[in-house]
Chains A and B, each alone.
Chain A
Amino acid sequence: MRDFLRRFARNKGALIGAAVLALVVALALLAPFLFPEDPWDIAGPPFRRPGEMGFLLGTDTLGRDVAAGIAHGARVTLLLSLVSTAVALSIGVVLGAIAGYHGGWVDDLVMRFTEFFQTIPNFILLVVLVAIFTPSITSIVVAIGIVSWPPLARIVRGEFLTLRSREFVQAAEVLGQGSARIIFGEILPNALSPVIVSASLMVATAVLLESALSFLGLGDPNLMSWGYMIGASRTVIRQAWWISCFPGIAIALTVLALNLVGEGLSDALNPRLARKRGA
């Protein structure tokens, strides 16, 4: 573990990413204290520039505080992307593990099912799902999870296919351990590194998907989110650039940070590859 942290810390980009991410998390956690008022409330006159009348990032078309929106939006965005990644992980890992472990017709069946999802363009499926189930935090989370599990299932399946034939798995079989124990106790811990890496990158994708949904007005109407802020203010971008610009920067920084952390994790979990890249 200490070794892992040391290798992670050696990657400067990953450290910067982790720092930015920590800031975003801190902002999300502190939002109710920094901006105790509801972000949907009108706080002052509309179209105030950043810095005017004590509004750090200005106000929007209705006079809501942009800074408050970003802070509260961070909560929503992080929560949504983390939970939806968890949903994708649980579907992807289970299906991939079953396919890779059992092989044969089970594998064929699960993989055809996976391909079925992969052939439909991600975002369109997402929009359709959210539209059908009416936008709410639950439907968005589940829908993002449903569109993002297939790549994970493929990764897990690949890992399982190779680990399956390893002798320690055969040994477990000869000992008479049950399938579930072998899958989750013996094989999965050895297949985790690529899963962790792709999960961290998946969080970034989920942030983007969620923002895009809210931008289109398909977000949860009760929750302030970065995508919604951009979507609502895009018509006035020439008069009031700050209303859409700051949430945009927030999205870009968060996604970049997540990607950097993901890269760092990947290097730290596969030290041999990372060393070659460095040399």
Chain B
Amino acid sequence: MSEAPLLAIENLAIALPQGAERPLAVDNISLTLARNEILCIVGESGSGKSMTAHAVMGLLPQPHVRATAGRILYQGEDLLAARPDRLRALRGHKLGMIFQEPMTALHPIMRVEAQITEVIQQHAPLGSTALRDRVTELLLAVGLPDPDRLRRAWPHRLSGGQRQRVMIAMALALGPDILIADEPTTALDVTTQAQILALIRRIQAERQMGVMLITHDFGVVAEVADRVAVMQHGRIVEAGPVAQILRSPQHPYTQSLIAAVPRLLAAPKPPPADAPVVLQAEQVRKTFRQRSWIPGRGTEVAAVRDVSLALRRGETVGIVGESGSGKSTFARCVVRLLAPDSGAIRLHGTDIVPLGRAALRPHRRRIQMVFQDPYASLNPRRRVGDIIAAGPIAHGTPRAEAERRAHELLALVGLDAAAATRYPHEFSGGQRQRIGLARALAMEPDILVADEPVSALDVSVQAQVLALLAEVRARLNLSMLFITHDLRVAAQVCDRVAVMYRGEIVELRPTAELFARPEHPYVRELLAAVPGQGWLPAIQG
């Protein structure tokens, strides 16, 4: 690292528009990125990490958000002072970028080949044969098999991982010096994430690029980073080589972040062996049919295939799987948001599958759900108190009584009673998830179905919400069905874990046992793909 850095950010400040929660998104930060290294910028949402990346690419949403001070030097040239046409020449050519959500970052109605050639033609036009060869070479370089078929494909035909590979191919098209990756694997499944991270690592080494990778996940950092910068509230609180930051973090914020990362470590819990079974799913099956006017052209997707599962009082069963494994569909069948095609779901012995809307109502009390997205799961137009009281009122509790109870529940989930008169948008993601939990608890259920309750939250908030869930569950002796894609979270929370793959449960065993000695090859693959295992204490037997 003796040579001059490829990219140097000096005293950068980025102003937010008036009325934002703080005046500066990024406050006086300095960073360098050398050739042939991966710099990870880690932080929670709102820390300014993405803003920094966007500033380098000149992608700030101006004029509302703009850099007010400092310089961004690319090989000595200030990008902030560069004219738009100069910046355009650099972008794509010398600076490549990949985004979080490859589906929205790719042009939906352009074939893969056209997307890649567009980048090339913009900067260094080639003849048609040379262009074809270049695209083939790029697709092979990012590990996409069968480039001749793939180049003709539309983005929506590709899987998430394939799309992200195409994005990377586009970013690499002209051999940039710098690759900026803004949460490149956050939207991907864990096995795909592992592949994409390995790809970024390999390409970076092959091409001696400087990679700036923005992430919120310390597992990802442990997997790929050479150096790390930790951001909080727009400032860099700590920066240094990866080993130093991960092994002996100095700043209290870094320490708390690392402490909050869920360990892939099953807490041994006594299974309540003889507790009564409160929920029994038998051979539940749900198929989605896409009807077509042409007979025989409709498609069928078997989302849940003959899933059976028993939940005892006081027990937490985790359902783990990647996207499309059918875990959310199963959860929605259990709370009867969806009607299963066949099978039985017994709540305290009563099968609720054949029940109609009205007959189902009295059973609704007993099983409640906590949703994934804290921003979408609360009605933005209603006050928090009304949201919590709505359920009991619908079941005939007098309004005054329901409202009094709502206040108690707010206290139970760690919120102030004054929260009842405010609207959901005034709360943070973690607080909203607490409100969602209070709403479910207002019904005094026996069973809680939690569908990815923490996956939209930052790690530190995630830890708090998980602790709250555990506490509430223990205090009220609830049974919980916990849906998650994150094995680390499942390891912390669940007594037993069911792994779902393509609509079926492939393995269902006590957590510690499953993690220590996975039997099914898919479960083994899943466990191996969890990022940062070399760093975090390994699986406990």
Interface residues of chain A, those whose CB is within 8 Å of chain B, are 166-168, 170-178, 181, 185-186, 189-190, 279
The distance from the CB of A279 to the nearest CB of chain B, in whole angstroms, is 7
Check if B391 sits within 8 Å of A167, measured CB to CB. Answer: no
Check if A175 sits within 8 Å of B381, measured CB to CB. Answer: no
Q: B508 contacts the other chain (Cβ, under 8 Å)? A: no
Chain B contacts for A181, CB-based, 8 A: 394
Check if B369 sits within 8 Å of A171, measured CB to CB. Answer: yes
Q: How far is A178 from B337 in the complex, measured between Cα atoms in Å?
A: 14
Check if B380 sits within 8 Å of A190, measured CB to CB. Answer: yes
Interface residues on B, range: 20 to 34
Additional 20 contacts, C-beta under 8 A, given A176-B365, A176-B391, A186-B382? A167-B371, A167-B373, A168-B376, A168-B380, A170-B332, A170-B337, A170-B377, A171-B371, A174-B337, A174-B369, A175-B368, A175-B391, A175-B439, A176-B364, A176-B394, A176-B395, A177-B390, A177-B391, A189-B379, A189-B382
Check if A168 sits within 8 Å of B377, measured CB to CB. Answer: yes
Check if B390 sits within 8 Å of A175, measured CB to CB. Answer: yes
How would you classify the secondary structure of chain A's contact residues: helix, strand, loop or mixed? helix
Check if A171 sits within 8 Å of B394, measured CB to CB. Answer: no
Chain A contacts for B394, CB-based, 8 A: 175-178, 181
21 A-B residue pairs with CB within 8 Å: A166-B377, A167-B371, A167-B373, A168-B379, A170-B332, A170-B369, A171-B369, A171-B377, A171-B378, A171-B436, A171-B439, A172-B379, A174-B335, A174-B337, A174-B364, A175-B391, A177-B390, A178-B394, A185-B390, A190-B379, A190-B381
The distance from the CB of A174 to the nearest CB of chain B, in whole angstroms, is 5
Residues 338-371 of B, flagged 1 when their CB comes within 8 A of A and 0 if not, give 0000000000000000000000110011011101
Chain B contacts for A185, CB-based, 8 A: 390
- Contact partner of A167 (CB less than 8 A), chosen from B364, B368, B377, is B377
Query: What 3 A-B pairs are tightest by C-beta distance, nearest first?
Result: A176-B364, A175-B391, A167-B377
Check if A176 sits within 8 Å of B361, measured CB to CB. Answer: yes
- Contact partner of A174 (CB less than 8 A), chosen from B368, B372, B380, B381, is B368
Measured CB to CB, the nearest residue on chain A to B449 is A174
Measured CB to CB, the nearest residue on chain A to B17 is A275
Check if B390 sits within 8 Å of A172, measured CB to CB. Answer: yes
Q: How far is A279 from B66 in the complex, measured between Cα atoms in Å?
A: 14
Chain A contacts for B365, CB-based, 8 A: 176
Chain B contacts for A173, CB-based, 8 A: 337
Chain A contacts for B335, CB-based, 8 A: 174
Measured CB to CB, the nearest residue on chain B to A275 is B64
Measured CB to CB, the nearest residue on chain A to B365 is A176
Interface centre among A172, A175, A190 (most CB of B within 10 A): A175
Check if B381 sits within 8 Å of A166, measured CB to CB. Answer: no
Chain B contacts for A178, CB-based, 8 A: 394
Chain A contacts for B376, CB-based, 8 A: 166-168
Q: How far is A186 from B394 in the complex, measured between Cα atoms in Å?
A: 13
The distance from the CB of A275 to the nearest CB of chain B, in whole angstroms, is 8
Measured CB to CB, the nearest residue on chain A to B337 is A170
Check if A279 sits within 8 Å of B63, measured CB to CB. Answer: yes
Measured CB to CB, the nearest residue on chain B to A165 is B376
Measured CB to CB, the nearest residue on chain A to B392 is A175
Chain B contacts for A189, CB-based, 8 A: 379, 381-382
Q: B487 contacts the other chain (Cβ, under 8 Å)? A: no
Q: How far is A173 from B439 in the complex, measured between Cα atoms in Å?
A: 12
Interface centre among A170, A176, A177, A279 (most CB of B within 10 A): A176
Check if B372 sits within 8 Å of A167, measured CB to CB. Answer: yes
